[in-house]
Amino acid sequence: MRILVTGAGGQLGRELIDVLASHELHGRDHSDLDITDRQAVYATVEQVRPAWVINAAAYNDVDGAEKAAELAFAVNASGAGHLAAAAAHAGAEMVHISTDYVFDGRKGAPYTELDRPDPLSVYGRSKYEGELQVLSAHPSACVLRTAWLYGEHGKNFVKAILKAAESGGPLKVVADQVGSPTWAQHLARAIAELIGTPARGLFHVANGGSCSRFEFARAIVNGRVEVEPISAADAARPAPRPANSALASERWQPAGLHPLPDWETALSGFLGEAGRRS
């Protein structure tokens, strides 16, 4: 298939380029395509004529978005909407990546596709608006909410903890935020499976299970340095984050798609690959 991947230079985009290598890929990073430019988006989709548009482009600086709301909404909402409209106009299918931060974290249990979003931050609101614009412009689009993404490329929590551990402990990590850590490679493989099926609509796609940031950090360092729990209030980050935004799906497996491995298995696989590369 001919596939257009936006955000191709980012964490998920680079995994998609690897995982989808058997297809005819047209990757565009921000320097190649500014998705906030509606005319450029339509021209690119018209030129490529893809069977699928996979939007992995995003403004994902959660704290930075609090002071850059206009930019966050331009990329995460309007830009996503431009891509969806252009894809629909060209007869292409669409995958759009969203986030667990569309939820307020007060449910006290994993969120499914049936739960109502109520984002706390500018970033979360911009991503939820993006979901709405995508599905409005392209009703058969696939919107995938994922969480706590990490991998070989780009900045992420796992790489930050590994880097901090090089200087010794103790590391102070938030213990009252719970989520579903997800290896970008596993998400890319899930997308590769999805586009070969008739499944469409909203899906939660994350590695199985959940943990706190503190528990995640302890698993990452595996006893090499001490990790101490702190509260989100102690961390004093600019953007509010959901206390428990763990994800579960009521739609993925019934659509005939394979569930992702649990987060511990995924982390072990990633760390093993990272060790072999170093």
pTM of the model: 0.94
Mutual angle of helices 263-277 and 157-165, in 10-degree steps: 60
Give the tokens for residue 233.
Answer: 């209030």
Is the preceding peptide bond at 254 cis, omega within 30 degrees of 0?
no
Is a pLDDT exceeding 90 seen at residue 169?
Answer: no
**pLDDT, tens digit (0-9, with 9 covering 90-100), for 223-273:** 899 999 999 999 889 999 999 999 999 999 999 999 999 999 999 999 998
Which residues have a Cβ under 8 Å from the Cβ of 188 and sit 6 or more positions away?
A: 12, 15, 16, 18, 19, 20
Residue with tokens 């931060």: 101
- CATH number for 2-155+181-208+246-261: choose from 3.30.930.10, 1.10.10.10, 3.40.50.720, 3.40.50.300: 3.40.50.720
The structure tokens listed for 23 are: 């297809």
**Average per-residue pLDDT in the chain?**
95
Residue 150's DSSP bridge partners are 183
For the annotated catalytic residues, the residue numbers are: 123
Domain boundaries, the chain: 2-155+181-208+246-261
Q: What is the pLDDT of residues 119-156, one digit of tens each?
A: 999 999 999 999 999 999 999 999 999 999 999 998 99
Q: What letter does residue 51 receive in the DSSP assignment?
A: S
